Amino acid sequence: MSASGQGAAHQMSHTLPNLPYPFDALEPYIDAKTMEIHHDKHHGTYVNNLNKALESHPDLQRLTVEELLAQINKVPENIRTAVRNNGGGHMNHTMFWKIMKKGGGGEPSGDLAGAIKSAFGTFADFKTKFNQAATTRFGSGWAWLLFRDGKLVIESTANQDNPIIDSGRAFFGLDVWEHAYYLKYQNRRPEYIEAWWNTINWSQVADNYAAAKR
């Protein structure tokens, strides 16, 4: 695939974004040690492995991770799986850190609240349905709130797949890999999911929603 004419910024390598708050900011819901390992090691490794995969393909280095994943089937076969897994890991976590904050939680307001209401009923109904997607995702993966064909839907994906791979536009997501919760919650994924809602940065999610809707 050619990078020419796509308007992508010149980019030699992908970089690990800083966590927008200290490791302990999400305590007691998500512990500091988990945040440190999750951000520095897990996300860091996705970024490094993505860059490694692209080393031999300079033309692809100019593309954003979103552009790479949206056309994953055009990425050369010998690096396709590496780009899918590590590019997905990079994109997913970059969003994940931002939709959480110290003192988060509560409910969305404005346009986003209205859209959730008309798609799912009450906020509680939405939460129940989202939790179900997150709880029942077998093995490692993510639960998402996204636009698909112009409609607001809840989905889950395996591994690090982002819905962008099949034209979904996700703007809110929950990491249910064990590395996201095992130190504090061990096998109790539903407890982690319930606690996670207390970290949500709804104004960031509203911004993501507005951008995804465009």
* 175 interacts with Mn ion by CB under 5 A: yes
**Is beta strand 141-148 parallel, antiparallel or unpaired with respect to 151-158?**
antiparallel
Q: Candidates 10-18, 75-83, 114-122, 168-176 — which segment interacts with Mn ion by CB under 5 A?
A: 168-176
> Considering beta carbons, is residue 23 or 177 the nearer one to Mn ion?
177
Least distance (Å) from Mn ion to the CB of residue 82? 17
Q: Cα–Cα distance between 200 and 180 in angstroms, integer? A: 15
Find the binder of Mn ion among 23, 177, 192, 202 (CB under 5 A). 177
Q: Candidates 13-21, 103-111, 116-124, 169-177 — which segment interacts with Mn ion by CB under 5 A?
A: 169-177
> Considering beta carbons, is residue 91 or 145 the nearer one to Mn ion?
91
Q: Candidates 66-74, 129-137, 179-187, 200-208 — which segment interacts with Mn ion by CB under 5 A?
A: 179-187
Site size with Mn ion, rule: CB under 5 A = 3
> Considering beta carbons, is residue 61 or 159 the nearer one to Mn ion?
159
Binding footprint of Mn ion on the chain (CB under 5 A): 175, 177, 180
